[in-house]
Amino acid sequence: AQRVTQPEKLLSVFKGAPVELKCNYSYSGSPELFWYVQYSRQRLQLLLRHISRESIKGFTADLNKGETSFHLKKPFAQEEDSAMYYCALSGGSGQNFVFGPGTRLSVLP
C-alpha cells in the first residue's frame, strides 16, 4: 500500500539556519514525489517535484530510492518560509495521490 510519512508535526528553526523537512514513503513501484506548501490563508500549491530536479525558493529535494526518502532542504531559512509543508506521492497517471500528514515549519526571527 502507498504511504507517506512525515515524522515531524512541527519544526522550528531560526532565520538563517538550515532546515530539513523529512519525508519517507512506501510504494511498490516507481513513484512520483512532490512537495506542496500551504502558506497562511492561501491554497495548497506545488513547491517542487522530484522529476524536474529543480530548486524553488532555495528549496531542493532529492529522491533517495534506497532509503525511500524525499527530504526537503534549504540551507538558509527565511521567515517567509513559515508554512505547512506536505510531501505527496503519485502512483502515476494522476491516480492514487497520497499526502503525508504535513509538517508545520516555523522560522523564528
Partner 1 sequence: GAVVSQHPSRVICKSGTSVKIECRSLDFQATTMFWYRQFPKQSLMLMATSNEGSKATYEQGVEKDKFLINHASLTLSTLTVTSAHPEDSSFYICSAGGAGTPYNEQFFGPGTRLTVL
Of positions 54, 58, 97, 108, contacts partner 1 by CB under 8 A: 97
Query: Rounded distance, CA 55 to CA 49, Å?
Result: 9
Measured from the CB atom, the residue of 29 and 94 that comes closer to partner 1 is 94
Gyration radius of the chain over CA positions:
13
Can residue 52 be called a binding residue for partner 1 (CB under 8 A)? yes
> Closest distance between partner 1 and the C-beta of residue 100, in Å?
7
Can residue 87 be called a binding residue for partner 1 (CB under 8 A)? no
Range in contact with partner 1 (rule: CB under 8 A) among 12-20, 21-29, 61-69, 90-98: 90-98
- Print burial letters for 70-84: b (CB count within 10 Å at least 16), e (below 16): bbbebeebeeebbbe
Measured from the CB atom, the residue of 51 and 108 that comes closer to partner 1 is 51
Can residue 27 be called a binding residue for partner 1 (CB under 8 A)? no
SS3 call for 37? strand
Of positions 7, 12, 16, 45, contacts partner 1 by CB under 8 A: 45
> Closest distance between partner 1 and the C-beta of residue 66, in Å?
23
Q: Is 66 left (phi over 0), alpha (psi -120 to 50) or beta?
A: alpha
Which has the closest alpha carbon to 74: 28, 37, 25, 20? Answer: 20
